Structure 1
Amino acid sequence: MTLELQPENFSIRAQKWWTPEKIKKLMGEKNYTITPLNAPQLLRSLGLLNSDASMSPDSVKKFIQINHMFNLLEEHFAELIKRHKVVRILDAGCGKSYLTFLLAWCFKEKWNHTAEIIGVDTNTKIINDCKQRAQNLGFADVLKFETASLFTYKWTHEKRPNAVIALHACDTATDMALALAIKEKADFIAVAPCCQAELARKWKENKISHPLTPVFNTPQVRREIAAQFTDMFRISLTRANGYEVTATEFVPSTHTPKNRLLTCIRRGNNLETAEKEFASMKDHLGGATILLEELLQKESI
């Protein structure tokens, strides 16, 4: 590490760059948890701050996105802190782990609470990069990363995860994350689905006569409607397995169209009405299902 990029020097540089006027322009009236002033090294490590401590327009969008998502989730993690001496979190399909690193920072710097956070992804290079960043930031005691597929990943640790998050896990990876979380009876689940293509593929192959045949045969409409019903299937199945589920927009659609966040709180009792709602929806939509139903049946949860 060069002298100019050592933590203490970069922090001084960030303090000088981010004047009150620049902070006001960046954050407006928002009260973000992570800022260039209180966590410059973290934001630099995530690639959101340049070497001179400035922030590019694309980085500003990502900065706003991860802070806004954290604000939506913070109360849930605060509740877990009240209930557990050690909060165990699985980031399923962690990718570059923006939110994961933000959580690690909060547990160490803001909450001063013991946590064990594991990020899992199939991309070995990304996992190795995350391991190195965790080491450089001094987060290795909180953050661990593993290369694995969600389809075969098993939670092998002594105690169950208290929370499972899966942000932009593509297509059926979201179903795998939900099935794992439900099987392990995680207290809290947060998923932001994207690229919901499975149901659309099945509708395309549907050759039966059906009132929705015009939808099935119109690619752009088929993709959009299938994505909406995929998430409704997920909501109903998760509710049926004992969770209270809330769907919310976590980022304005001007930033990204992939902006639905499902937050799920375990209540413990399976909900028969949700099972019936799912079965009815599936029947009315031609009988095609999603991987989540198959995984939940397979695991016999």
Structure 2
Amino acid sequence: MATAVEDKHFFEGTEKLLEVWFSSTSNEDTRNLRTIERCHWEELLKLVQCEIISIVSDEDMDAYVLSESSMFVTSHRFILKTCGQTTLLLAVEPLLKLVANKCGFDKVQDVFYSRKNFTRPDKQHKIHRKFEDEVDHLDTMLKDGAAYCLGRMNRDCWYLYTIDCIGVMDPDQTLELLMWNMDQKKMKIFSKETCASGKEASEKSGISALIPGAQIDDFLFHPCGYSMNGLLPGGYYITIHVTPEPQCSYVSFETNVPQKSYHDLLKKILKVFSPGKFLMTIFANQESIAKDSPKDLENMTAVQGYVRNDHQHCLFKNYSLTYTHFSRPVL
């Protein structure tokens, strides 16, 4: 049971992640989510209990750093990732109405909602405390929902909700690395005591060098905590969020940058953050160059300094999904 002090200073770093691809039954190519004005996004985010801190854009995407994680908007894809006690699923129905009214998108082409199990589910809004309740809520708005759990249900696990139909036919892939029990020497970088700005934290930690060429928007919270979004040409992004407090340390890394193998990137990330445990998921559809990455990971029974605890590979729709869990060996 958490002590009063631990409870007061606890922050749930684990994020809720929603990705929705939209289309229209009229098949018009002029529809674009990026035409929705910022004020409408701000109203939507009030339902989630977070707000916009900054935004960067390129030809393909708008990337928002939020008070609790990030949001990405392309012409027909919406991604919202929020941590803490945010109420992400309360915004799904208003989102569907918003994009229909403002853009004419009347069809959900594909949807993915995922998260790791929470450290303190009791501190979440009632809609998010149990995955079963999240599934029931999504089923009221979406047809042919399909829910999955990977990992150990009584330990560390990862939940996924999607719809059971082939939607996205463009090359699509997502790597997500969720890390906890962090090295506190590394975590000290992500505090105002050590760094004056997000840029300084990005440079000192080595984040700036993880994926060269990215347009970076970073933010260092007071007294600690860090968020960054990075954009690359072609509609690619990276996003990193750090909860450095020792009693609830957590880091997430996510990118849709396509690679045949993510081994080298994984090693770089682990060198920057040095977690005690991590889980990794790789989504890739059959059109992606990353489609064979599950075979690559199957033989990766160990990473330097870590042992593999679980490894699962799933095939559904036109996607493959790999879940793998590592931890430092107990000495």
TM over 0.5: same fold?
A: no
Which has more radius of gyration? 1
* Structure number with higher relative contact order (C-alpha < 8 Å, ≥ 6 residues apart): 2
TM-score interval, normalised by the smaller of the two chains: 0.3 to 0.5
**TM-score, length-scaled by structure 2:** 0.35
Return the structure number with greater helix share.
1
**TM-score, length-scaled by structure 1:** 0.37
